[in-house]
Amino acid sequence: MAERYSDRPGIRRWQWMLILLGVVLLAAVAFWIVVFRINAFSLSVRLYGEETMELDYGESYCEPGAEVVLQGTLFWKNGITPKNARLEVTGSVREDTLGRYTLTYTGSCLGLQAQAERRVCIVDYQCPVIRLSEEVRNGKPGEITFTAVDNYDGDITHRVKRIESPGKILFSVVDSSGNPAYVEWEIKDYDPTPPEIYLEGGDRKVITVGSFYQEPGYYAYDDADGNLSEQVQIQGEVDWLVPGLYPVTYTVTDSHGNHATAVREVEVAAKPRPEIRWPREKTIYLTFDDGPGPSTRKLLDILDQYQVKATFFVIDTGYGSIMKEIVDRGHSIGIHTVSHDYQAIYASPEAYFADLLAMQQVIYDNTGVETTLLRFPGGSSNTISRTSCEGIMSILAEAVQNAGFQYFDWNVDSDDAGKARDAETVAKNVVEGIENSGTSIVLQHDIHSYSVDAVEQIIQWGQENGYVFRALTENSPGFHHEIQN
């Protein structure tokens, strides 16, 4: 049996070779299908440098170069540069001739082809040069000679235009690329022309009462002396607190005695005052000064409990979040002062308005409300301001209203900043002040806890006696006191 099996013919070497060759061919076909069929190829030409280049006339063109990029959908997604790729460049750049030139880059590989174009522009931005002969500087107008040379056009003296005017001659020329050149020759010691004053912002400016006037600026120029801005004299003052039209005059004189004058009219305009509407019902306006403070949130809760709205004339106490809470709970907020320092605030109208606008900004930053309601520290009838500035309250009472603000005094004083030191006394003072009055603005201070404790009793009395409570608006009556300073 062993001998019989050994006699059977086996697979010969050449047959193994055929099998191996078949396997290699199958693998090659599979690789070709994956790489060249499933992995679709695309060819592109990637330019080095910019696609559009601009060269000044006379500048040498240096070819940046390019490369052929082969990309596949499965392999070589980022692209490769085949070694057997061919790249041909057609077109040329004439560096000595202005124009627009196109270079075409053609790449080929694996039977694929791609193109890219680069545009090269030869341009001329250089202005021609006009040269006057030496005697021009010292000679007479009739003796002037000149030449004009351009880097591209060459001699263009024949294109020069000559324009004469009193005291000077202007030479001008334009080359074929549109580049201009100018040279002006001035006749010695001839200057009949006065300087000119240019007013920045125009010859009319409008500001609102209470807006500090700032000079917009000016510029004075003389054709012989040049810049004369520092020599300009200004006359006229603008009273930014009083509505009116104020002329500001600017004058300047050049070295030859020529004068120039310009006038700017500055209008200080008053904002329209709102219409005052007196409430028809018996009304109480609760107002609180000098806060916010530690007791303000308690006060807000009391007001919410009785659905009463009030007005808070605030200072910069550092309780910004409570300022926002005042507004969010539907109450009015107004300006009292930043520091409540009488000496500083009433030192001058400028000092008061600086404080007023600063506090308006503090309120806006914390609440988003640009309020125009205000209460003067001490009220408009205060006399302590005399020690700082005589007559300032008479000025401010008009000025703030012309600036668009509404100020509120009071006709009922709780005296919580005076002799009243407990809730019962505060409430008693307020009720007695309100009785038999159709409309009342009540002065209290929410920095005093005992005054806050009196509010509930005041509200209860008012509601029981047919009064309504409102927050102040720009249309509310101001109960202005008689000015004492």
Q: Residue 79 above 60 pLDDT?
A: yes
Contacts of 269 (CB under 8 A, 6+ apart): 206, 207, 208, 209, 243
Looking at residue 399, its pLDDT comes to: 96
At 42, is the secondary structure helix, strand, or coil?
Answer: strand
At residue 454 the predicted structure's pLDDT band, cuts being 50, 70 and 90, is very high
* Helical pair 455-464 and 296-305, crossing angle rounded to 10 deg: 20
Residue 164 has a pLDDT of 77
Using one digit for the tens of pLDDT, what is the confidence trace for 162-196? 887 777 788 899 998 889 998 887 766 666 789 99
Question: What's the pLDDT at 263?
Answer: 97
Q: Which CATH architecture has domain 283-469?
A: Alpha-Beta Barrel (3.20)
Q: pLDDT, tens digit, for every residue of 345-402? A: 999 999 999 999 999 999 999 999 999 999 999 999 999 999 999 999 999 999 999 9
CATH C-level class of 41-123: mainly beta
pLDDT at 238 over 70: yes
Quick check: 138 pLDDT over 50?
no
Question: Of the ranges 68-82, 195-209, 225-239, 242-256, which one carries the lowest mean pLDDT score?
Answer: 68-82
Instruction: Compute the mean pLDDT over every residue in the chain, rounded to the nearest whole number.
Output: 89
Q: Any idea which of 87-91, 246-250, 388-392, 409-413 has the lowest mean pLDDT?
A: 87-91
Distance CA 290, CA 376 (A): 11
What is the rounded CA–CA span in Å between residue 293 and residue 334? Answer: 15
Band the pLDDT of 73: cuts 50, 70, 90. Answer: confident
Domain with CATH 3.20.20.370 in the chain: 283-469
Q: Could you give the residue range(s) of every CATH 2.60.40.10 domain in the chain?
A: 41-123, 196-269
pLDDT at 81 > cutoff 70? yes
Reference 299, options 455, 412, 443; nearest CA is: 455
Please give the average per-residue pLDDT across 219-231, as a whole number: 93
Please enumerate in sequence order all residues whose Cβ is within 8 A of that of 62, keeping only pairs 6 or more positions apart, or say none.
none
pLDDT at 19: 73
Q: Could you tell me what percent of the chain has a pLDDT over 90? A: 67
Contact 441, 434 (CB under 8 A): no
The whole-number average pLDDT for the span 268-276 is 95
Pick from 377, 370, 359: nearest CA to 332: 370
Q: Is the dihedral of CA 475, 479, 482, 485 positive or negative?
A: negative
Q: What is the pLDDT of residue 355?
A: 96
pLDDT band at 139 (very low <50, low <70, confident <90, very high): very low
51 and 39 Cβ atoms separated by less than 8 Å: no
pLDDT of amino acid 212 = 86
Which pLDDT belongs to residue 38? 55
Gyration radius from the chain CA atoms: 45
| pTM beyond 0.75, yes or no | no
Task: Examine the pLDDT at 142 and tell me if it is beyond 70.
Answer: no
Is residue 367 within 8 Å of residue 330, measured between CB atoms? no
At residue 143, the pLDDT reads 67
| Angle subtended by helix axes 320-328 and 349-367, to nearest 10 | 70
Give SS3 for 420: coil
**Confidence at 22, pLDDT banded by 50, 70, 90:** confident
pLDDT value, residue 3: 45
Q: Which pLDDT score is estimated for 223?
A: 87
**Alpha helices, DSSP H, located in 306-448:** 320-328, 342-345, 349-367, 392-402, 423-434
CATH homologous superfamily of 196-269:
Immunoglobulins (2.60.40.10)
